[in-house]
Amino acid sequence: MRPLVWLLWDAASAVLAERFLAEGALPNLAHLAEQGTRAAARPAWPCAQTPPGMATLITGAEASVHGVYGYREAARPRALHSALETETGFDARRLRAEPFWTTAARAGRTVTLVFAPLAAPYDAYARGGVWAPGTGPSILTFDGYGHVLAGQAVHRSSELEKTPEGLRLVLPLAEKPPSVLFKPGPTSVRVEGPEGVAELRERRPAALFLGPTVGVTLVLLALGKDEFTVWRSGIWNVHSSDPEAAEELCQRAGPFLGSGAGHAHREGSLPDPDADYLATLAAEARFFARASAFAVELGADVTVVYEPCIDETGHLFQDLYEQGSERGLALIRESYRLADEHLGAVLERVPEDAIVAIASDHGQQGVRRLFRPNVVLREAGLLATDEAGRIDLDRTKVLYGPAANGFLLVNAEGSLRGIVPRAEVGEVARRAVEVLLAHQDSGGPLLLGAHLAGEVTPSGRVPESDAGDVCLIAAPHVALGTGAVGAAVDVGSGGQHTTAVDVPELDALFLVAGPGVPRLGRLASRIDNADVAPTLARLIGIPRPAHATGRALWDAKI
Ligand SMILES: [Zn+2]
């Protein structure tokens, strides 16, 4: 049986990967590229946010089939909820198409999933779960993102509580909040946690455990004569289908570090923003590299690992990069370099006969304008707000819902606080489309189109009304905002991947190498991300995932 190690590089773009490969900045990716085939891949349509994008990668099915529609989605069934209620799109129980790893386990392969999106909750894969592998081997999963206990923060020593023992910081955990003590010295800051101590030196990350699978990472950003500044990571708990394995992973890799200081960078709270951000990003990449190394050494037939650094960086700087900024380019290049380092740690450990694949769910697209459909709907009398500017469902016929995944919801009778008679849903949807498409500013069209639920278009089939009643296709470089007051159009910034418009930067990266993989280099034509799972299935000799709509790229010569 041929092993597979599959790296999910969130938001890696084919054009940027090619650029950095040509520069010689990604030695491990270059090594792999020489032995295989790579291509630009069309991301999930109509919404290329991470959950639908990853769902298409792992099921080989388009969104109308796999049923995952965004980071957040209209709460289902819509008839039992109001149009303002949302649910996460990261829950494997919402998938309607079989994931690749279930197919693999059904075919008798052992599987380890390390922080892969849609690998949680474990119940979905356990005996009796919706994606349980039947009589196949059980699937070993590790999840961190699903168990966030606290967000990140930047702390200045002057804001900490002075005690005789040192400067005290209470960590914001809901149950029994632990505290840590900081004791500054001339060149470092000693920090004492409930389960250990660490010495903080400038921009060198230090982790403190708060429990066997819970901990925090601290990075000293600045140390002056009288004051210091420290970045405190978010706090997560690692869950696993095997609790002992979760503890082992944390012992090896440290506490889960699911994001760098992107949030603090956006808020403007970092003393030296770019350098500080990159120090935290490196800490994050190295955590994932250690976790992946641990997982690969477990030796499963199929190991799937996740890499987040490129995505976080693209959301911050994609617009700068697209404007030709050297600074934006350097920051994004560094995120690819860190992902490449992570790849290097994996390649050192993969068996000789393994297939290695890298796939991303989408690229990024710079944001130039922010369009608020709800403002236009309000001006057209289709939506009403209260005094605080919040949507008033009792007087609202249609809205761009808080799920922010591209779908308009008609506030139909039958759902909680719905007011539109069922017979008028289609008419309200069409009226909303009319006023939104008519709205223009001097920068060109804001929307390329709008499709009704279930419509078949040249780009694919629009999901049914469980996703929403109308799917908005934003124009390139336009982000859709959910606000209902203020200007309809504002200047936007950063990067996004919501509407899957056809711009090269938004195309994902697919690369596969190893025994039986043709060495075709870079394919001239674009593939579809739905092709990835059927291709990998064929290469390792298992059936294609049960609901896949994509095609295997070539006949594997095994
Ligand atoms: Zn993503």
pTM, full prediction: 0.96
CA of 141 to the centre of ligand 1 (A): 19
**What does CATH list as the number for 4-61+97-147+238-365+503-540?**
3.40.720.10
CA of 330 to the centre of ligand 1 (A): 21
Does residue 557 have a pLDDT over 80?
no
CA of 413 to the centre of ligand 1 (A): 35
Tell me the average pLDDT across 263-282: 98
CA of 412 to the centre of ligand 1 (A): 32
CA of 361 to the centre of ligand 1 (A): 5
Residue 447 phi/psi, 5-degree rounding, is -120, 140
Give domain limits for the chain.
Answer: 4-61+97-147+238-365+503-540, 149-235, 369-492
pLDDT in tens, 277-331: 999 999 999 999 999 999 999 999 999 999 999 999 999 999 999 999 999 999 9
Q: What is the token pair recorded at 48?
A: 């290329």
CA of 211 to the centre of ligand 1 (A): 29
The per-residue pLDDT for 268 is 97
**Which residues, 6 or more positions from 3, have their beta carbon under 8 angstroms from its beta carbon?**
299, 300, 301, 302, 303, 350, 351, 353, 354, 355, 540
pLDDT in tens, 462-488: 999 999 999 999 999 999 999 999 999
Burial class (CB in 10 A: 0-12, 13-18, 19+), 503: middle
CA of 435 to the centre of ligand 1 (A): 31
CA of 311 to the centre of ligand 1 (A): 6
Does residue 28 have a pLDDT over 90?
yes
CA of 53 to the centre of ligand 1 (A): 7
CA of 529 to the centre of ligand 1 (A): 13
Residue 241 phi/psi, 5-degree rounding, is -65, -15
Tell me the average pLDDT across 420-446: 96
Name the β-bridge partners of 478.
369
CA of 54 to the centre of ligand 1 (A): 7
Distance of alpha carbon 384 from alpha carbon 401, whole angstroms: 13
The per-residue pLDDT for 558 is 34
CA of 201 to the centre of ligand 1 (A): 32
CA of 306 to the centre of ligand 1 (A): 10
Does residue 1 have a pLDDT over 90?
no
Tell me the average pLDDT across 502-514: 96
CA of 339 to the centre of ligand 1 (A): 14
CA of 42 to the centre of ligand 1 (A): 13
Tell me the average pLDDT across 148-173: 96
Mean pLDDT, the chain, rounded, equals: 96
CA of 139 to the centre of ligand 1 (A): 23
The per-residue pLDDT for 555 is 62
CA of 224 to the centre of ligand 1 (A): 38
CA of 310 to the centre of ligand 1 (A): 9
* Residue ranges in 326-397 assigned as alpha helix (H): 326-347, 373-379
CA of 355 to the centre of ligand 1 (A): 23
Nearest to 361 by CA among 285, 295, 282, 306: 306
CA of 476 to the centre of ligand 1 (A): 18
Pairing of strands 161-163, 302-307: unpaired
- Percent of the chain's residues with pLDDT above 90: 97
CA distance to 166, 172, 173, 179, 213, per residue, from 176 (Å): 20, 9, 7, 9, 16
CA of 9 to the centre of ligand 1 (A): 8
CA of 494 to the centre of ligand 1 (A): 15
Q: What is the token pair recorded at 271?
A: 């003393």
The per-residue pLDDT for 534 is 97
CA of 365 to the centre of ligand 1 (A): 12
Over its C-alpha atoms, the chain yields an Rg (Å, rounded) of 24
Does residue 550 have a pLDDT over 90?
yes
Name the β-bridge partners of 420.
412
CA of 497 to the centre of ligand 1 (A): 8
CA of 362 to the centre of ligand 1 (A): 6
pLDDT in tens, 117-130: 999 999 999 999 99
CA of 495 to the centre of ligand 1 (A): 12
Pairing of strands 72-74, 86-88: antiparallel
CA of 164 to the centre of ligand 1 (A): 46
Tell me the average pLDDT across 95-105: 98
Q: Give the pLDDT band (50/70/90) at residue 556.
A: very low
